[in-house]
Amino acid sequence: MSRLRISRAWIRRHPRVGLALLYAISPLMFAQVVLDCLHKMKEEARSSWADNWGLFQDARDSILSYIRRGKDETR
């Protein structure tokens, strides 16, 4: 509890330094939130691409098997 009183008294004695610290920390916190959001979006995009790649391979395989069946029937 006494540490809290010391920090409040320090900010009251040096308001400009307190504001400078606040202005220095605020953009860093904002940047951290933005980076977290971008990281989450990147993870979701990777999983989506992985799912789409699996669907693409399945579709390709079914088309190739359909073509092969058609060629075998015409012979």
Written as tens digits, the pLDDT of the chain (75 aa) is 556 566 667 778 888 988 898 899 999 999 999 999 999 999 988 888 888 888 899 999 999 999 988 877 776
pLDDT at 65: 93
Q: How many domains does the chain have?
A: 1
Residue 56's domain comprises 2-74
d(CA 54, CA 71): 26
pLDDT at 26: 92
pLDDT at 6: 61
Against a cut of 0.85, is the pTM above it? no
